[in-house]
Structure 1
């Protein structure tokens, strides 16, 4: 009888210890999930602010149209794929696709002058064709699609 009571006490203590450890592990999981959610929220806020800045720069012509459109497209893909595919944002996708074969950085510098001029002529033609629509889309992003800036609140 005494042995049975002793084994019962040991089993109860073991179950309580394992339950306590399981609770500790679950609290760590919940904490990590909360931290990941906070990080995602901060990332989304930062991306929205970056999009607002780029759209404003595009409207104020502080960034070349093609470069601004490409940057906006890439940020939209990271911010909200559905928003990036919205009909009002298609101009950014079109400009990206029309210029994605153009070399960048060191490869651009390595191009001969004739090849660079050919690409620059293409940029000019694309800008003439899409400038008004890109500006309307940037304005729509600022006014309707993106959350209001923290500074404006």
Structure 2
């Protein structure tokens, strides 16, 4: 092989390496951009859940929403934000109410019930609400505190909850 051929092959190899390096850099930037977008989306979703938790817990305290219904909605939102939150003492009652009300129908399934069946389920909801009323009020107040502190203490919220 002549010196000219070696030089040409070296230039081609160098061009390939530089091209691959530029492509790798572009891919790495895209990965970082997507990770940042994902983090922002998670933060936005959590913020929306926290806002909803604040509204529902306030409605529970003011009795604008049925306590059992409020607890069921809060359980779903807490699971989205951090599924371990319902294991903390202040929020365990929400999981307990959800377990007690698991057999009760909601949404479309509730509309399929006869008036008599709906009345029975309403009585069961009232009984659950009366049984857990004080603890649900405490949990709603704790949710208000959690929501108020969320932006500042997001990283340590599970330790203080």
* Same fold, judged at TM 0.5 (above): yes
Show the counterpart of 1:16: 18
- How many pairs does the alignment contain? 149
Show the counterpart of 1:133: 135
> How far did residue 113 of structure 1 move?
2.4
Listed as ranges, the gaps of 5+ residues in structure 1 are none
Alignment of 1:102-141 (within 5 A): 102-141=104-143
Q: TM-score, normalised by structure 1?
A: 0.90
**2:55 aligned with 1:53, yes or no?**
yes
Listed as ranges, the gaps of 5+ residues in structure 2 are 152-161
CA contact (8 A) 1:59 1:138 kept: yes
**2:104 aligned with 1:84, yes or no?**
no
Q: TM-score, normalised by structure 2?
A: 0.86
Q: How many angstroms apart in 2 are the aligned matches of 1:105 and 1:4?
A: 76
Pairwise CA RMSD = 1.6
Alignment partner of 2:84: what SS? helix
Q: How many angstroms apart in 1 are the aligned matches of 2:52 and 2:141?
A: 14
Alignment partner of 1:146: what SS? helix
